[in-house]
Amino acid sequence: MRKIYYRFPQRVDLSFAMGMPFNETIKYVAGLNNEESTKTTGKELVKVKTRVEIAHDRATFGEITPEVLRPGVISEAVDFRISVLALALRGGGRVPIANDIFYLRLTDQVSRTDIDIAKEGRGDGLDALDMKNILLGAGT
């Protein structure tokens, strides 16, 4: 069964292929939920938090449950919404730098998975290439 969001953006910012089978890629993306990483950009220390949600009933996104991740439950395509919050860790506390939302569509291509990335809005902050780097484990 496809789990897609009917309001997925018509214009995607980036498309690429991930060299993993569809079910493995779904589990990999779901594993990014509540992940935190820290990196240095220039002179600042930045903490990046991700939150991953899956399309439920073509109109909403919700939590990822273990039953959804079982092989064979999702076929053909699935949409995710990933929120990325970047905080600068400064002497006085945490200062938000970016709070971006990305939509991902994973499409089954047998031995690989095609991924389309679209960013909600057009403001500053992270872009689709940054999201791809997060997915590939390179950080932002």
**pLDDT computed for residue 37 by the predictor:** 86
Name the nearest CA neighbour of 32 among 125, 116, 104.
104
Q: What is the largest CA-CA distance in the chain?
A: 50
| Alpha carbon distances (Å) from 10 to 116, 117, 119 | 11, 11, 11
pTM: predicted TM-score of the whole model, two decimal places:
0.88
Grouping H, G, I as helix, E, B as strand and the rest as coil, residue 128 is helix
Walk along the chain (140 residues) and give the pLDDT tens digit of each residue. Answer: 789 999 999 999 999 999 999 999 999 999 999 999 888 877 889 888 999 999 998 899 999 999 988 888 898 999 999 999 989 888 888 888 889 999 999 999 989 999 999 999 877 778 899 899 889 885 54
**pLDDT computed for residue 54 by the predictor:** 96
Left if phi > 0, otherwise alpha if psi is -120 to 50, otherwise beta: which for 27?
alpha
The residue with tokens 């039953």 is 67
